[in-house]
Amino acid sequence: MAVSAGGPMIAAAQSIEGFVKTPEGQPISDAVISAAAVSGSRPAARVGRAIVDQQDKEFVPYVRAILVGTEVIFPNKDDIRHHVYSFSPAKKFELPLYKGTQAPPVKFDKAGLVVLGCNIHDWMLGYVYVLETPYFETTAANGHARIADLPAGTYEVQVRHPRLPEGAAPASQRVTIVAGKDERVEFVVNLKPDVRPRRAPSRASDKYR
C-alpha cells in the first residue's frame, strides 16, 4: 500500500522500524513516520499516484502520506455521490458531486496537511500529509511502521498524527543509519481528544453496505 520509493540507484538498503505509543503504552495507529536526510539531499524519486477511497461514507485510508507532487485519485465506491473538498492552505480543491472514478486526479504540489471533507457527509474526515521526503510509512494498528530501502546517512525522523497538536513542529528524532544495520525509533506522544464530527445515524447505511 506504500507509495513506491527508493530506486535502483540505491546500492544498499537499510530500514527504520518505528513504534508510536501513548505514555500509557497504548500503540497509536494512523501515525505517519517520515525520515528526511539531514543533508537535504533528496533522491530523485519517481512521483507516482496515490488513492484515497470513499467507502461506506468514510475516507479510506483515514490518514494517507504522499510525496509532494503526487496526484491523488478519489474513487467513490459508494452508490451515492460524494462532494470531496478541502479548505486546507496546502491544497484547496473541490470535487463536486461525482460517482465512481468520474473525478479527475488532484495533484498535491505543496507540502503540508490537507484535511479532506465531504460536503454531503459532514462526518467524513480524511487526512493527507504531503511530505518533502519519499521515506515515510503509516503505523498499523499495533503502532508499528517500517520505512524500508533507506540509504545510509543521518535522518530527521518525524511523527505526525491527526490528534497531535497542529501548527507545532512535529516530534522528531535524529537517526544515523550505517550500511547494513537497521534502526529502531520509538515515539511516545500525547494525543488530543478525538473531535471528529459524529456520523449521522442513517437507516440507509446498512442497506448500502
**Residue among 146, 184, 180, 137 nearest 13 (CA):** 180
Is 198 or 203 the residue whose CB approaches other proteins more closely?
198
**Rounded Cα–Cα distance for residues 41 and 9 (Å):** 14
Taking CB under 8 A as the criterion, the residue among 60, 125, 171, 188 binding other proteins is 125
Contact set for other proteins, span 170-189 (CB under 8 A): none
Single residue of 7, 100, 165, 197 touching other proteins by CB under 8 A: 197
Residues 82-121: x/- map of binding to other proteins (CB under 8 A)? Answer: -x-x-x----x----------------------xxxxx--
Tell me the C-alpha distance between 49 and 120, whole Å.
Answer: 26
Strand order in the sheet with 32-37: 135-138, 32-37, 153-160, 171-177
Q: Does residue 56 interact with other proteins by CB under 8 A? A: no
Stretch that binds other proteins, among 123-131, 170-178, 181-189, 201-209 (CB under 8 A): 123-131
Least distance to other proteins, CB of residue 126, Å: 8
Cell triple for 136: 515515510
Q: Which residues bind other proteins (CB under 8 A)?
A: 83, 85, 87, 92, 115-119, 122-125, 195, 197-198
